Amino acid sequence: SRSGARETIAMSAVVESKRRVSYFYDAEIGNYHYGQGHPMKPHRVRMTHNLVVNYGLYRQMEVFRPKPVSKDQMTRFHSDDYINFLRVINPDNMSEYFKHLQRFNVGEDCPVFDGLFEFCQLYTSGSIGGAVRLNKEQSDIVINWAGGLHHAKKSEASGFCYINDCVLAILELLKHHQRVLYIDIDIHHGDGVEEAFYTTNRVMTASFHKFGEYFPGTGDVQDVGANEGKNYAINFPLHDGMDDDSFKSIFRPVIGKIMETFSPGAVVLQCGADSLSGDRLGCFNLSLRGHADCVEFVKTFNVPTLVLGGGGYTLRNVPRCWTYETAVLLGVDIKDALPYNDYFEYYGPDYRLHMPVSNMENLNTKEYLENVKVQLFDILKQVEPVPGVQIQTGSSMQTPADLELPDKDDESQNPDERNMDTEKKEHPAEFYPAETGDKMDVS
């Protein structure tokens, strides 16, 4: 009936208006540098924040500087040896750690640079801190654009990633949620996250990525998980030229079916921007609107959601993407004409938010996409409605032997009682220049 439809619309409006969005950012993140010529540039996170501020989006969110995570929090997933190595290695002592560099895959794609461990702490802190806020029901959506480094393994750096903040955030969420869904729209397969949860049915991973002679080389449609986790790894392998219409035609049905079948208590959404048209390392052809449509769709399920960054290697495009997706998460329309900001010259010659896509050929035929979609639906039909085995999250839950992790925590024997609610809200001086001309201390 019409009255029923009006009530549904009204309820949606209420849900929209009450959506509490938090945003984690530390101004130090832009000071770290992987090295000359390296495609990964943490500066893009600072550029994103500056655009978010100049669009006025920060006024509609709670903005936090995350509390630095401890070594013990990192070893909930990573090995002690690996974390200890990251803590001590620096450009001056590299020659003393030649075997360790090889063992932990550090040196080329994942270089040693000044402040490496502090950089890892910064991006990881926002993801874990965000998960804590979701667990405490203090926020409905939490954003950490510095996070999303999905390739890191338990004892190995990989693909520009050292600490897997995605895995650590999911472990935090599992303390309060029976099931957590991880969604990855980076052009590269989310292999580190999939591998970490490959044998559990409490975490489902869903990755949409380029496959075939492309890093990291994993993520075939037939890779579905193992043991208790069989059918809980969902992979949609794609070819070059993926465009908005094609992506929407697969993402919405697959994620819709996963939400219906798996019914997660929380979602972690990795929004790698290297799937955009024109990315330095990517080969898809998505527009900002096509990329953000995934964010918009996940948001409609009203499930507690942690939104992370990830890849993205064309410096002028990444801030555009993540600023626009911040606006989408807030339910706010922003102008196409970019506001003046500290990095305005990067966005020339058009100085607009939205960019045209290229005319590259889409090698993903409708028949191919439909065939993979049917295969994934068949896999999802075999998913059990009730989860079984428990895994280690850093709390007192029982765990299978192969997932056993240290019990230690940073401040107390019971991690569930640890006070993680000490993130600092950003001081207004972060956004407005002080009248005296002196930068105010917000530490």
- Catalytic positions are 151
Q: Which helix (H) or strand (E) holds 396?
A: none
Report the amino acid identity of residue 152.
A
Backbone angles phi, psi at 214, to 5 degrees: -150, 140
Contact 187, 291 (CB under 8 A): no
Cα separation, 382 vs 409, in Å, equals 37
Write out the two tokens for 136. 């405490």
Q: What is the dihedral of CA 100, 105, 109, 114, to 10 degrees?
A: -30
Cα separation, 84 vs 67, in Å, equals 20
Cα separation, 154 vs 162, in Å, equals 10
* 3-state per-residue secondary structure call for 183-204: EECCCCCCHHHHHHCCCCCCEE
Cα separation, 117 vs 299, in Å, equals 33
CA–CA–CA angle 307, 312, 316 (5° rounding): 110
Report the amino acid identity of residue 9.
I
Cα separation, 349 vs 45, in Å, equals 22
Report the amino acid identity of residue 103.
R
